[in-house]
Each structure stands twice: as C-alpha cells, then as structure tokens.
C-alpha cells in the first residue's frame, strides 16, 4: 500500500485527528492532487478547519491554484498572532504578497521568520533575493545568495545568481553561473534564460530559439522567454512568427519597456508604422526618461517625413542616451531625405555591424526598404 493510501485509511478511521489530516494534505500536495486535497478539507470536521495547521494547508492549495489573494487572507492572521512565525508560513505568505506585487510587505513578512533549518533558510533566501531583484536591488540580492547555505538547491541558487549577474552587466560571470546551474539541473529555468539570452546576444539563433522554446514549454506564461524567442525569430527573419510571440510577451510583461521596444521594431519590420508608434508610446508611458524610447519616437517622426519633430526627438534621445541606436536610425532617415546618402549609409552600416547587447539585428537595407514602403517616391522631398 502506498504512503498516500495508508494516510487516507488512517485519516478515515480517525477523522478528528488533526495531525493525520495535515499529513494527508501534505502528501496530496506533494503528489499534485490539489483537487483531492480540497475535497478532504471540505470533508474535515469544522473544528479542525479553523486550526492553524489546517488553514496553512488550505493556503497551500490556494497558492498552487494561483489564488494569491485567498492565500494572503488565510495566512496573514496566522502571521499576526504567532511568535515566532514559522519559516514555512513566512515563506508562503511572502510569496503570495510578492506575486501580488506587494514587495515591501513581502520583505516585512520574511523578517518575521524564526531561525530556520538549512533547507528552509535556503528557500527564504531565494525568495528574498527574487524580491530584491524585482526592486532592482541587485547588489543586495547577490549578498543574500552568498550569505546562506544552499541546502539541496544549488542549481536554483546558481541560476538566480546568473540572472542577477546578467542584469548587472557581468556577462562572463553570468555565463559561468548559468553553466553551473545547468550542469546540476538541465531544466533550471533562470539559467536557461541566461543561456538563451547570451546566445541571442552572440547572434546564435540556432541555440537561442530552441532554448526559449524549451523554457516556454516548461512555463507557458514566462514573458521573458517569449521576448527572447521573439527576438530570436526576428534574427532569423521570421517576422510574422516573431510578431505573434512578441504580442504574447507584451501581454505577460506589460510593464517591461524592452518588450515594447522589441514589439515596435517587429512592427516596423512589417511596415506597421501606427502599431510601432503605439508600442513606443506604451514604453514612454512607463518611463519618460528612457533615451531609446525617445529615439524610437524620433524614428517614427522621421519615417513620416516630420523633420522638425524628428529633430527635436533626436536631440532629447541623444541627450538621455548618446549611444542610442533608434535616434541614429532616425538621423539616417533625415539624411536620406536631404540627399546625403553616403552619410546615412555610414550611420546604418555602423549600427548594423555593431553587436549591441539586447538589440534586434537589422539588415543594412532596413531603413531604405521601410522608408520606400511608408513613403512612396511622390511623397519624398524632390530629387531624393
């Protein structure tokens, strides 16, 4: 008889035993049988359902179902009344708060945790580091990861370290950490993202695209994986497929400026100027001080022949980011309009030859093709 069957038989013979009920619920959750766990909760005597241990398991069911509001409602009263607060309770409440975007509240919850054992300490450290990461406190997150025993979660520690190092610009160190994680667990998600992103930056779409496809199969709502896949498909020239993937990325990460930029470039490659403008506007609504967004809007103006507006937007973009590529593409369009083709071509070639991290590779013919598509000869300045 399996452990689950034994626990069910014992619980059925002694329905008032809270320890048996909790053990049974734990085993059901371990085996992924959330519906049966909920059924056992509903069948339990009312006197048991209000006990802390049972409420904690009910909250675990809510977490598995993605019902973070209910999880917080169940766990918050327990955390308010228990001292010290068990590490597992702190972790689950903080995780639910984190998923609801309540980052400061989640950090406050983690600070209440009693001194945990090694495995629990590792789980709490990983969660705290992720929260700090979302607050862009990368250096603090790295200190957290380096300051506690990893327990049995070496791959997850290395994977998260790889993500932090990548976003901190330490690409060599990020690659090393990702390799360590993937050697221990080939399916480690963070390390896969880092590996795929580095391959993308190296223009190795043959490696990046399958990696991101594998990540999406594992986590179908992973916006960052959709972003990487979309950029990889653009690199291959499969613009139609890239557009569909980047639309998904924007759905999952509407507050990520880079996603809107990638979508805008994809729309430009399709000749969809209005769509690209909307995507750049969406990025602008998130942050009005990002130079590349101003550069994208400058390019839209330039492609529409709005020379004065384009010139002003270029100035703003280059003031915020002197190396901004979108502003320089906009400059090339204005130079073409003035008949200064050699100067425009020099800008375009320097941009397409460069390997800017995270940039979408664009062919040298892109500006010419798009300009001709959007503005037929009769609409361009005379003689050009």
pLDDT tens per residue across span 8-25? 888 889 889 999 999 999
Question: DSSP label at 149?
Answer: -
- Over residues 120-135, the pLDDT tens digits come to 889 999 999 999 999 9
Number of helical H runs and strand E runs in the chain: 23, 0
Structure confidence at residue 12 (pLDDT): 87
Q: For the chain, give the percent of residues with pLDDT over 90.
A: 72
CATH 1.25.40.10 fits 1-108, yes or no: yes
d(CA 194, CA 183): 14
Question: What is the number of other CB atoms lying within 10 angstroms of the CB of residue 42?
Answer: 9
Distance of CA 378 to the CA centre of its chain: 44
Structure confidence at residue 341 (pLDDT): 86
| pLDDT band, residue 345 (cuts 50/70/90) | confident
pTM equals 0.86
pLDDT at 379 over 70: no
pLDDT at 91 over 70: yes
Structure confidence at residue 384 (pLDDT): 46
Least confident of 92-96, 146-150, 248-252, 274-278: 146-150
Structure confidence at residue 382 (pLDDT): 44
Structure confidence at residue 7 (pLDDT): 87
- Over residues 40-80, the pLDDT tens digits come to 999 999 999 999 999 999 999 999 999 999 999 999 999 99
**Hey, where are the domains in the chain?**
1-108, 289-384
Structure confidence at residue 336 (pLDDT): 87
Q: What is the mean pLDDT of residues 324-330?
A: 91
Residue scoring higher pLDDT (349 or 188): 188
Least confident of 98-107, 225-234, 333-342: 333-342
d(CA 84, CA 105): 18
d(CA 113, CA 104): 15
* Sequence-distant (≥ 6) Cβ neighbours of residue 186 within 8 angstroms: none
Q: For the chain, give the percent of residues with pLDDT over 70.
A: 90
- Over residues 262-310, the pLDDT tens digits come to 999 999 988 899 999 999 999 999 999 999 999 999 999 999 989 999 9
Structure confidence at residue 78 (pLDDT): 94
Structure confidence at residue 378 (pLDDT): 41
Average pLDDT, the chain: 90
Structure confidence at residue 114 (pLDDT): 78
**In whole angstroms, how far apart are CA 298 and each of 246, 314, 325?**
22, 6, 11
d(CA 157, CA 362): 36
| pLDDT band, residue 152 (cuts 50/70/90) | confident
| pLDDT band, residue 349 (cuts 50/70/90) | confident
Q: What is the mean pLDDT of residues 199-206?
A: 91
Q: What is the mean pLDDT of residues 173-200?
A: 96
């Amino acid at each position: 008889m399996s452990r689950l069957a034994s626990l069910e038989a014992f619980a059925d013979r002694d329905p008032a035993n809270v320890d048996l009920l909790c053990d049974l619920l734990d085993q059901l959750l371990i085996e992924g049988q959330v519906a049966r766990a909920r059924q056992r909760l509903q069948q339990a005597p009312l006197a048991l359902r209000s006990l802390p241990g049972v409420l904690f398991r009910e909250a675990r069911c809510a977490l598995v179902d993605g019902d973070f509001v209910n999880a917080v409602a169940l766990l918050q009263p327990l955390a308010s009344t228990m001292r010290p607060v068990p590490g597992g309770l702190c972790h689950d409440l903080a995780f639910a708060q984190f998923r609801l975007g309540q980052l400061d509240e989640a950090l406050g919850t983690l600070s209440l945790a009693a001194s945990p054992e090694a495995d629990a300490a590792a789980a709490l450290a990983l969660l705290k580091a992720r929260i700090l990461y979302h607050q862009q406190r990368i250096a603090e997150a790295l200190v957290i990861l380096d300051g506690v025993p990893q327990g049995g979660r070496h791959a997850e520690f290395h994977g998260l370290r790889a993500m932090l190092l990548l976003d901190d610009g330490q690409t060599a160190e990020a690659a090393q950490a990702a390799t360590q994680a993937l050697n221990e667990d080939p399916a480690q998600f963070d390390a896969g993202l880092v590996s795929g992103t580095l391959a993308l930056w190296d223009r190795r779409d043959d490696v990046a695209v399958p990696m991101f496809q594998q990540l999406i199969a594992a986590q179908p709502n992973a916006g960052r994986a959709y972003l990487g896949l979309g950029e990889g498909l653009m690199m291959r020239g499969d613009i139609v497929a890239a557009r569909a993937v980047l639309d998904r990325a924007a759905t999952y990460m509407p507050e990520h400026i880079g996603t809107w930029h990638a979508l805008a470039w994809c729309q430009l490659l399709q000749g969809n100027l209005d769509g690209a403008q909307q995507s750049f506007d969406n990025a602008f609504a998130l942050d009005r001080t990002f130079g590349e967004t101003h550069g994208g809007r400058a390019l839209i103006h330039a492609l529409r022949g709005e020379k004065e507006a384009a010139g002003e937007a270029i100035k703003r973009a280059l003031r915020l980011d002197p190396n901004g590529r979108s502003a320089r593409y906009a400059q090339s369009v204005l130079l073409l309009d003035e008949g200064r083709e050699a100067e425009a071509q020099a800008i375009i070639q320097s941009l397409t030859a460069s390997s800017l991290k995270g940039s979408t590779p664009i062919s040298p013919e892109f500006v010419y093709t798009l300009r001709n598509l959007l503005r037929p000869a009769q609409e361009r300045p005379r003689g050009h």
